[in-house]
Amino acid sequence: MQVINDNRPEYILRLEHLLYGYNYMVSVDSYGPLSTEQPLIEALKQTVSSSCEVTRSAPISAEDARTLMLESFLFVGDSGGGPIDLPDKREEIIGLVEQLTQGVHLHQADAIHEFYLAKGHPGYPVWWEFALDIHAQGQRWILLGSSSD
């Protein structure tokens, strides 16, 4: 038997659990704090996967990043896939997203970039995905989210 130690915060594990559904699974990964001295791609290659490739990056506000996250996590899906009983879990999910934004220091950010991780994603994006490079208080956090079938 293989035992895997998942060191991610409880709010991430709970968020993934609540969003499990019919032919639907959510993956959330956060990395940090990391140094802001190296380029994003180098930070990704060291922490996520040596095969990472970023094809675009653009600044985004903290409010727009939060909205992107909420829209993703509250994605209803369709008859072929989506979270089970999402309306009943909505308030708890929103609370967990707030914990997640605090954990990656989103609201204290000096700069945030949304980027597209073309290769090396730890999840398997199908329905939606987001990737954020957050710089706050002299450090960096990388936040990756996706849903798959």
Q: Write the CATH number for 93.
A: 3.40.1000
For the cut 90, the answer to whether the pLDDT of residue 122 exceeds it is no
Q: What is the pLDDT of residue 139?
A: 98
Q: What is the pLDDT of residue 2?
A: 55
Instruction: Give the separation between CA 102 and CA 108, rounded to whole angstroms.
Output: 9
CA torsion sign for 38, 109, 55, 96 is positive
What is the tens place of the pLDDT at every residue in 47-59?
A: 999 999 999 999 9
Whether 43 maps to a domain, the answer reads: yes
For the cut 90, the answer to whether the pLDDT of residue 110 exceeds it is yes
Residue 4 confidence class, pLDDT cut points 50, 70, 90: low
Backbone angles phi, psi at 136, to 5 degrees: -150, 140
DSSP 17: H
Range of the structural domain that residue 129 is part of:
10-148
Whether 4 maps to a domain, the answer reads: no
Q: Regarding predicted confidence, which is higher, 80 or 31? A: 31
Q: Regarding predicted confidence, which is higher, 92 or 80? A: 92
Number of domains within the chain: 1
For the cut 90, the answer to whether the pLDDT of residue 126 exceeds it is no
Please state the pTM of the whole predicted model: 0.93
Instruction: Give the separation between CA 96 and CA 94, rounded to whole angstroms.
Output: 5
Whether 3 maps to a domain, the answer reads: no
